Every structure is written in structure tokens, then in C-alpha cells.
């Protein structure tokens, strides 16, 4: 049995707007949160100890992280070198640089010859000796169209045809690697990609380069004992045999990950069999408080009540409230800030409810039903300018309705006359 720790999507250095500067360290608190989450992963790898660490890609928000962010990442992975745990760093879309062949934020680890470290920046098979025997790792970094196809090959093709051509190329290239595998050695495919069956997370909004979606059938092969994925931030298991797993990101990158549990995966691997377990990380809470204050006479009271009832201590909080413009001055900003003082960081977004969206006559609002004559009477009661014509309009309507009765048989009693229909009058 070979023990593997599989983590992915570290994105160290992102989400600074959700933190603040720690006066003691001078660092953004969200960088410290990400450092702590990564430290937990590496602690576990060393405590177990595992025989191999697989990183599924996207180390930083982009391929040129500031030195202090690159150092925070290196400080943790350095501990694996000291513990003599072999490690594979896969290149994700956020790690790639457009300049230079194979340019990526992680290639420095290969250039420096870090002992036991493999950088997966191309489709390749690595045979790694672990304490508990050999393992084969096929690395499949984030692929762009230009990695697999040349411009003349795609000329005149539709997007769908290009997509199909890409998949055909990838299938062929992957087949080439599979043929060279030793069938007796445990094998892992380590890939940074979007599959056709994955549920999206924040990466949909974060992705800058255009990629393509890989059919799950291409990955669910018996030659792989475990498929270690990266890219999608929401932890999910796409297949049980072989296990195809996204561990998800290790910390919340933004509010789209508010409800997601964060963690890493521990795998017990042998040829033909893999058992895995998701290990949650204690990461910072994100909370959205959204309130409709447009229908209350005490918007401030309702807002404060909601803030006091929520568990907001040390959380990253955003408050969104919908309010009518004439009630805006009833919100005392000072008191609201006070109520949010125990949070880690907060933003407040008042949204004005448009007067136009409100029904002109509340009695005729959405969801109310009335007989046509009753509805017309209500309408006319609100139109002082039509008072003189009221009797004439009502009798005209009555005769129109009885004509309709005569022509079409019984009129449906439950006929609903809406505000917009009345507007035609
Ligand atoms: Mn990615």
C-alpha cells in the first residue's frame, strides 16, 4: 500500500480584498489563512507519513507571484524535501506563462533540482520510487488549444469541430503514455482539467485562458488506479472505479465558495485498488446576509436583528439589503458598523428597490385574482380623472362581457385581470 496526499488549487496570494494587514507581520491576513491551510496539509503528510504528495495545479493566482507569496509556498513544500517525501507539482492554468517554452511559476523547482520534486508541465510518465515501492504518475497539465493543434489544422473548422479534434489528439497522446506503462505497478493520472460531468466552482470565474472540457470516459480507464484531478474548486468524486477525485481548493477564494467544505484527500493505493478519504480543513467562514427591507417600517431594526442572530465572529461577511430610497436615511451606518465589529472583514451593499417595479395599485398586485368587473371598479376608484366617465365605462364593460358570454359561452369566473390588462382600457 502506498499512501498519497492529494491536494490542489492552493491559489496562494488571492482574495486579499477579504482580509486586512496584520500589524504584527505586515502580511495580509488572507495570505496567512492560506498559509495556515497549506501548513495543515503538509503537517498531515509528515505526521502520517505519506509516501508521496500530489499537487493538482494552480499554486498562485497567476504565474508571477510576488516573492513573499512564492516564498510562503516554498516554505511549506520545503518541509516535504526535509522529510524525504517525493512530490509532484502539476502546472495548472494559473501557473502557465505565455512567454517561453514551458514557462510556469513551478518550473523553478526543476531548475533548482529540488530533491524528490517533479514538475508536471507536459504530458509525461514519471516512475517514482517511494518508501513503499514504485508508482507511475502520468502528468497532464492544463492544455490549451495551441498545445495540441496548429493554426492551419483548425482553419475553417467550427468550434465544435475544433473541440472534437482536441479530444481526439488528447486521446491519442494519452494512449501513447498508457502503452508504455508497467501493468504491475500502481498508476495515477494527475491532471488539471475540466471534465464534462463536474459541477462548477469559482474556477469558472477565475479562468483567464480558454480551455476545453474532457469527457470523463477518457479518464475512467482500468489502467489507472486513481485519477487525481485539479482545477474545480468544489470537492467532488466523479467516479468510484477507478476513483476520479477533485479535492477542491484548500481555502475559500471568494464568496462563490461560501458553502463548500475545504480540504485534501488521503489515498491508499495498490495495483487494481485505491481507497480514499476526504480530510476537511478548518478554514475561515464566509457569510452572506441578504435581506429585503423594502416592506418593513423599521429597516434598521430588522437589519440589526438579522446581524445579531447570525454567527459572524471572525467570518468574512457581506451584507446585501434591498431598501426603498425614502428609507435609506433610517439606516444608521455607525450602528451597523458596530454590529459587524467582531467579523474578520465585511462589506455592505445597499440595493435600492425601484419604485417602477412596484405595482401601481397594491390591490391589483401580482398573485391577486378578482372578477373582471370588480377589478375595473378598483381601478376606477383610483382614477379621479375618470370619475365622470365611471358609470359609462362600467356599463360598456358590462355589455362587452355579456357579449363575450353570448359568443363564447360561460366566462370563467376565476378570470384574472391584471394591472397590465387594465392599462389597455
Ligand atoms: Mn485551474
Among 233, 252, 280, the domain-final residue is 280
- What are the helix (H) ranges across 48-90? 67-82
Q: How many domains does the chain have?
A: 3
Q: What are residue 346's DSSP bridge partners? A: 317
Task: Give the distance (Å) from ligand 1 centre to CA of residue 139.
Answer: 15
Can you give the CATH number for the domain in which 256 is found? 3.60.21.10
Among 341, 357, 373, the domain-final residue is 357
Cα distance between residue 410 and residue 400, in whole Å: 13
The answer to whether residues 113 and 35 belong to one domain is yes
- From the centroid of its chain, how far is CA 262? 12
Domain that holds residue 246: 2-280
The answer to whether residues 297 and 390 belong to one domain is no
Per residue in 74-121, pLDDT (tens digit) is 999 999 999 999 999 999 988 887 665 556 888 889 889 899 999 999
Cα distance between residue 229 and residue 251, in whole Å: 17
Cell 517533479 belongs to residue? 118
The answer to whether residues 164 and 223 belong to one domain is yes
The answer to whether residues 221 and 242 belong to one domain is yes
Residues in Cβ contact with 324 at an 8 Å cutoff, skipping those fewer than 6 apart = 293, 294, 352, 353, 355
pLDDT value of residue 406: 53
* Segment holding 277, helix H or strand E: strand 273-280
Per residue in 294-307, pLDDT (tens digit) is 988 899 999 999 99
pLDDT bracket for residue 146 (50, 70, 90): confident
Among 280, 299, 332, the domain-final residue is 280
Cα distance between residue 388 and residue 382, in whole Å: 13
Cell 362581457 belongs to residue? 401
Task: Give the distance (Å) from ligand 1 centre to CA of residue 157.
Answer: 27
For residues 147-154, give the mean pLDDT: 79
For residues 337-341, give the mean pLDDT: 94
Q: What is the DSSP letter of 364?
A: G
pLDDT bracket for residue 154 (50, 70, 90): confident
Helix (H, G, I), strand (E, B) or coil at 87: strand
Full-model pTM: 0.79
Q: Which three cell numbers stand for residue 420?
A: 397590465
The answer to whether residues 196 and 274 belong to one domain is yes
pLDDT value of residue 400: 86
The answer to whether residues 130 and 226 belong to one domain is yes
The answer to whether residues 169 and 43 belong to one domain is yes
The answer to whether residues 291 and 416 belong to one domain is no
Task: Give the distance (Å) from ligand 1 centre to CA of residue 349.
Answer: 29
- The answer on pLDDT for 203 being more than 80 is no
pLDDT value of residue 353: 86
Q: What is the dihedral of CA 145, 146, 151, 155, to 10 degrees?
A: 0
Task: Give the distance (Å) from ligand 1 centre to CA of residue 369.
Answer: 51
Q: What is the dihedral of CA 179, 183, 185, 190, to 10 degrees?
A: 40
Task: Give the distance (Å) from ligand 1 centre to CA of residue 202.
Answer: 10
Q: Output the average pLDDT for the chain.
A: 87
The answer to whether residues 181 and 315 belong to one domain is no
Angle at CA of residue 247, ends 2 and 213, nearest 5°? 110
Rg of the chain on CA atoms, in Å? 30
Task: Give the distance (Å) from ligand 1 centre to CA of residue 209.
Answer: 10
The answer to whether residues 291 and 248 belong to one domain is no
The residue among 186, 205, 194 whose CA lies nearest residue 170 is: 194
Task: Give the distance (Å) from ligand 1 centre to CA of residue 244.
Answer: 16
Per residue in 212-255, pLDDT (tens digit) is 789 999 999 999 999 999 999 999 999 999 999 999 999 999 99
The answer to whether residues 332 and 408 belong to one domain is no
pLDDT value of residue 274: 96
pLDDT bracket for residue 358 (50, 70, 90): low
Percent of the chain whose predicted confidence (pLDDT) is above 70: 87
Task: Give the distance (Å) from ligand 1 centre to CA of residue 74.
Answer: 19
pLDDT value of residue 197: 79
The answer to whether residues 205 and 329 belong to one domain is no
Per residue in 169-201, pLDDT (tens digit) is 999 999 999 999 999 999 999 999 988 877 766
Amino acid at each position: 500500500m502506498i499512501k498519497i496526499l492529494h491536494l490542489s488549487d492552493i491559489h496562494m496570494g488571492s482574495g486579499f480584498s477579504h482580509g486586512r494587514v496584520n500589524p504584527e507581520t505586515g502580511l495580509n491576513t488572507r495570505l496567512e489563512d492560506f498559509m495556515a491551510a497549506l501548513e495543515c496539509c503538509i503537517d498531515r503528510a509528515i505526521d502520517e507519513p505519506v509516501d508521496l504528495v500530489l499537487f493538482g495545479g494552480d499554486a498562485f493566482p497567476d504565474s508571477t507571484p510576488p516573492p513573499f507569496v512564492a516564498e510562503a509556498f516554498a516554505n511549506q513544500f520545503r518541509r516535504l524535501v526535509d522529510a524525504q517525501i517525493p512530490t509532484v507539482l502539476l502546472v495548472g492554468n494559473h501557473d502557465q506563462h505565455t512567454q517561453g517554452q514551458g514557462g510556469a511559476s513551478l518550473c523553478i523547482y526543476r531548475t533548482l533540482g529540488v530533491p524528490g520534486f517533479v514538475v508536471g508541465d507536459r504530458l509525461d510518465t514519471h516512475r517514482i520510487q517511494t518508501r513503499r515501492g514504485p508508482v507511475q504518475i502520468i502528468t497532464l497539465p492544463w492544455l490549451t488549444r495551441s498545445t495540441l493543434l496548429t493554426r492551419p489544422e483548425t482553419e475553417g473548422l467550427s468550434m465544435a469541430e475544433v473541440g472534437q479534434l482536441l479530444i481526439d489528439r488528447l486521446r491519442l497522446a494519452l494512449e501513447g503514455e498508457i502503452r508504455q506503462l508497467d501493468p504491475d505497478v500502481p498508476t495515477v493520472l494527475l491532471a488539471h482539467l475540466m471534465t464534462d460531468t463536474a459541477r462548477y466552482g469559482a474556477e469558472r470565474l477565475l479562468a483567464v485562458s480558454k480551455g476545453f472540457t474532457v469527457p470523463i470516459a477518457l479518464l475512467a480507464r482500468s489502467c489507472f488506479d486513481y485519477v487525481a484531478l485539479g482545477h474545480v474548486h468544489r470537492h467532488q468524486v466523479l467516479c468510484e472505479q477507478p476513483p476520479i477525485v477533485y479535492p477542491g481548493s484548500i481555502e475559500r477564494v471568494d464568496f462563490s465558495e461560501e458553502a463548500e467544505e475545504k480540504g485534501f484527500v488521503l489515498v491508499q493505493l495498490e495495483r487494481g485498488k485505491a481507497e480514499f478519504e476526504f480530510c476537511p480543513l478548518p478554514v475561515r467562514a464566509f457569510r452572506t446576509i441578504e435581506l429585503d427591507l423594502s416592506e418593513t417600517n423599521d429597516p434598521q431594526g430588522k437589519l440589526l436583528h438579522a446581524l445579531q442572530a447570525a454567527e459572524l465572529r471572525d467570518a468574512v461577511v457581506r451584507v446585501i439589503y434591498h431598501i426603498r430610497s425614502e428609507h435609506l436615511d433610517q439606516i444608521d451606518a455607525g450602528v451597523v458598523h458596530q454590529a459587524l465589529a467582531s467579523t474578520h472583514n465585511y462589506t455592505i451593499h445597499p440595493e435600492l428597490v425601484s419604485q417602477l417595479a412596484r405595482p401601481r395599485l397594491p390591490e391589483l398586485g401580482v398573485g391577486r385574482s378578482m372578477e373582471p368587473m370588480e377589478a375595473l371598479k378598483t381601478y376606477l376608484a383610483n382614477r379621479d380623472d375618470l370619475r365622470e366617465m365611471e358609470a359609462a365605462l362600467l356599463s360598456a364593460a358590462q355589455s362587452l362581457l355579456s357579449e363575450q358570454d353570448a359568443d363564447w359561452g360561460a366566462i370563467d369566473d376565476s378570470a384574472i385581470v391584471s394591472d397590465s390588462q387594465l392599462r389597455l382600457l
